[in-house]
Structure 1
Amino acid sequence: MARYHIETYGCTSNRGESRQIERSLRDGGHHPVESPEEADVAILNTCTVVEKTERNMLTRAKELDEETPGDLVVTGCMAIAQGEAFDEAGVDAEVLHWDEVPEHIRNGECPTHTPDTEPVIDGVVGILPIARGCMSDCSYCITKEATGKIDSPSVEENLRKARALVHAGAREIRITGQDTGVYGWDEGERKLHVLLDRICTEIDGDFRVRVGMANPKGVHGIREELASVFAEHDQLYNFLHAPVQSGSNDVLGDMRRQHTVEEYLDVVETFDEYLDEWTLATDFIVGFPTETDADYQQTLDLLEQTRPEKINITRFSKRPGTDAAAMKGHGGQIKKNRSSEMTDLKMSVVGEVYESMVGAEREVLVVEDGTDDSMVGYDQTHRKVAIPGVQSAGVELGDFVTCRITGHNTVYALAELV
């Protein structure tokens, strides 16, 4: 769990993005602090409206780089438009699109829920934590100390909570947990597919369900059953977040990740078999202490082979008290170079996906306000779609709309109403 300090500059849109970043971080068990000196990570949400502003952003980034004992993340307009300026100014920061920030800060660790975590509604999105804890013992993860082993409420209890969210107005249910794939393991049987099937068959209403992070090892043993449920029910987004972390079995062993590359590939191939179109999301940690050049190349090769459509890339950082913190690691420049190269490949892969959508019609569930008159939603594969001009057209949050994809901005599509 990280302590974070966030500073936001610029327009209302930037402030809204910072609120969403904070919401995701707090949902993952991270805590805000007042000063960068107290923080494990500082976040600078930037503006780039005029040249003077740009100079101010670079000055503040340098100050935060010096003031923060941990990492610095730069996001916002200047990060997107002129991200290279921070590197040229000698600022040691991870430059990210705003919606990549929470996953980066999580550092490959599981999201952490407190024991009393209950479902909540954020607009038309319902958050449903189905269990707490995990079955892993990753060598780099401090979350384990806070969560312990998997503790799974019954299917009946989670079904009741899901029904209550829908009845309270949720149009999208986001199922969360440290590792949703091992839900039920403590009761002797993995039950994620059972819970999803019952949510889809026993709850009335027009809604969608997105399944949160599920480690490959947990999914592997139920991959056929899980993929079958996805194929059967339109309420389920065809989306799976299975963080592989490395393309090298040697590194996975040192990370104590439990799964192998081959098991990860089994999961991907099974979902390919059952679903005509789906989104694979995954995570990679680059610069793990034992990652050699050859190991890193295997990770690049795995990304190229499986071509996930949502990719979170994290430079390894040591967490106090973990076994990996005691390992002799790589210098910052090696980690930075590997992260930069992998990010370039990521943007190429993801950009191709959204480019392939141009001209197609998609049904989109609108769940967020965008900038100006736009709104944001997700198609059946949980690909992000921004639709300009729809608020004045009378579209409301929670509406299903038919759109034609007109373009993209690499990590999301642009569309117009049909």
Structure 2
Amino acid sequence: MARYHIETYGCTSNRGESREIERRLRDAGHHQVEGPTAADVAILNTCTVVEKTERNMLRRAEELADETADLIVTGCMALAQGEEFGELDAQVLHWDEVPEAVTNGECPTTTPDSTPILDGVVGILPIARGCMSDCSYCITKHATGKIDSPPIEENVEKARALVHAGAKELRITGQDTGVYGWDTGERTLHELLERICEIDGDFRVRVGMANPKGVHGIREELAQVFADNEKLYDFLHAPVQSGSDDVLGDMRRQHQVSEYLEVVDTFDEHLEYWTLSTDFIVGFPTETDHDHEQSMALIRETRPEKLNVTRFSKRPGTDAAEMKGLGGQLKKDRSKAMSALKREIVGEVYESMVGEVREDVLVVEDGTGDSVKCRDSAYRQLIVRNASEHGIEPGDFVDLEVTSHETMYAFGEPI
């Protein structure tokens, strides 16, 4: 779990985005601190109204880069003039990517007490606490312990209550959803999802992070459940973290690259249109140039439509914190190369959608201004502008024609 410091400049929209960043970080178990010197990571949400503002943003970014271990720059200037921060040891990200970049590959803690939450039309359902991993870089395991899985029926009842309360999207969360049931001697995530999809109502289900090792043992059953149930978003978040088995061994990840590939191949066989989401840690202390190239090659081979790139940072009390680290510039260069490849792949995905029609797209939440954010069957993000003119709001299902795209999302017009 990370300590973070966040600074926000500019308009109401920037402040709203920062509040959402803080909410996600808080829900994931991270802690806000006063001042960048006490933080593991500093987040600068920038403005770019006039030239003087730009100079101030660059100066503040330089100060933060000197005062904290890691710096993330987001906001208007980061997106419009990201190259201006090129000389700094900083990650330049869209605000929506910031919470995941802070995690350092650690498991999310999600909620402190595994209580379901209804946030607008989104129901958040933690199905278990803890995990079965012992990753050398992760401090979360010290807070959550081993997996503790409530019975399937208990989780189904919680899901049913969220749907009855108005949830249109259920987010199944946990430190590692793929190992649900391991503590009872059975791997039962696929059974739980099947039961949740049997609940009456018009809603969608998104499965949260599931490490490759847990998914691998039930990959056939799990992929079949996805194929059989329209309520399930065809979306899998399986963080591989490295394309090198040597680095995975030093990380004490429980899977090898071959097992991750077998998971991807199985979902390819069962699903025609789906989204692969994964994570990579760049600059782990034992990562060589060859290891990094193996990670880049794995990305090119599997072409994940959602990719979270995190520079390694030491967490106190972890075994990896005792390792001799790599230089900051080397980590920056590798992160920059991987992020560029990510933007290329994700941009191609959304570009390929232009001109197509997506049916039964769920309007999930309000966006910036008079826009709404929507998700199609593979959990790809579509933005509808001038939503009030179309009479659509969160909770609605709409058919959209994809009209244009940005790198991380597409725009749609209601049909």
| TM-score for the superposition, normalised by structure 1 | 0.97
Residue matched to 1:97:
94
**1:110 matches 2:107:** yes
State the alpha-carbon separation in 2 of the partners of residues 269 and 172 from structure 1.
27
SS at match of 2:156: helix
Aligned to 1:41: 41
8 Å contact from structure 1 (residues 350, 410) kept in 2: yes
Question: What is the identity, as a one-letter code, of the residue corresponding to 2:86?
Answer: D
Residue from 209, 213, 230 that aligns with 2:209: 213
**Deviation at 1:392?**
2.5
The amino acid that maps onto 2:2 is A
- Residue 145 (structure 2) aligned to one of 145, 148, 160: 148
* Contact 1:132/1:151 (<8 A) preserved: yes
Counterparts of residues 6-405 of structure 1 (less than 5 Å): 6-68=6-68, 70-88=69-87, 91-113=88-110, 116-201=113-198, 203-363=199-359, 364-405=361-402
State the shift of 1:192 in Å: 0.7
Residue type of the alignment partner of 2:289: D
Could you tell me how far 1:115 is from its partner in structure 2? Answer: 5.0
Equivalent-residue separation in structure 2 for 1:206 and 1:96 (angstroms): 34
SS at match of 2:388: coil
Normalization by structure 2: what TM-score? 0.98
Counterpart residue type for residue 44 of structure 2: L
Query: 2:25 aligns to what SS in structure 1?
Result: helix
Relative to 1, partners in 2 of residues 1:41 and 1:182: Cα closer, same or farther, differing over 3 Å?
A: same
Letter in 1 for 2:41: V
- Cα 1:187–1:115 shift into 2, 3 Å: farther
| Cα separation, partners in 2 of 1:113 and 1:397, compared to 1, 3 Å | closer
Aligned-residue Cα RMSD (Å) equals: 1.1
**Over residues 126-180 of structure 1, what are the superposed CA-to-partner deviations in whole Å (9 max), with x where a residue is unaligned?**
1111111000000111111111100111111111111111111110011110000
What code does the residue aligned with 2:261 have? L
Which shifted more, 382-391 or 211-220? 382-391
* Distance in 2, Cα, partners of 1:61 & 1:148: 37
Shift of residue 114, structure 1, vs aligned partner:
5.3
Instruction: Give the Cα–Cα distance (whole angstroms) in 1 for the partners of residues 167 and 371 of structure 2.
Output: 21
- Contact between 1:115 and 1:132, CA under 8 Å: does it hold in 2? no
Moved over 4 A (4+): none
Cα distance 1:170–1:114, how it changes in 2: closer, same or farther (>3 A)?
Answer: closer
- Range that drifts further, 120-129 or 385-394: 385-394
Distance in 1 (CA, whole Å) between partners of 2:63 and 2:341 is 31
Q: State how far apart, in whole Å, the 2-side matches of 1:122 and 1:393 are.
A: 23
| Cα displacement (A) at 1:113 | 4.2
Q: Distance in 1 between matches of 2:190 and 2:398?
A: 28
Structure 1 contact 375–391 (Cα < 8 Å) conserved: no
Contact persistence 1:162–1:199 (CA under 8 A): yes
* Contact 1:373 1:389 survives alignment (8 Å): yes
Q: Aligned letter for 1:190?
A: R
Query: In structure 2, what residue type is equivalent to 1:14?
Result: N
Paired residue type of 2:126? P
The one-letter code of the counterpart of 2:358 is R
Q: How many residues align?
A: 414
Q: Tell me the alpha carbon deviations over residues 257-276 of structure 1, each in whole angstroms, 9 at most, x when there is no partner.
A: 01010000000000000001
One-letter code aligned to 2:114: T
CA contact (8 A) 1:390 1:417 kept: no
Q: Do 2:47 and 2:53's aligned partners in 1 also have CA atoms closer than 8 Å?
A: yes
Farther off after superposition, 104-113 or 28-37: 28-37
Deviations 1:34-87 (A, max 9, x none): 32232221111111111111111112212222333x311110111111111122
- Distance across 1 between alignment mates of 2:194 and 2:369: 38
Q: Which amino acid aligns with 1:369?
A: D
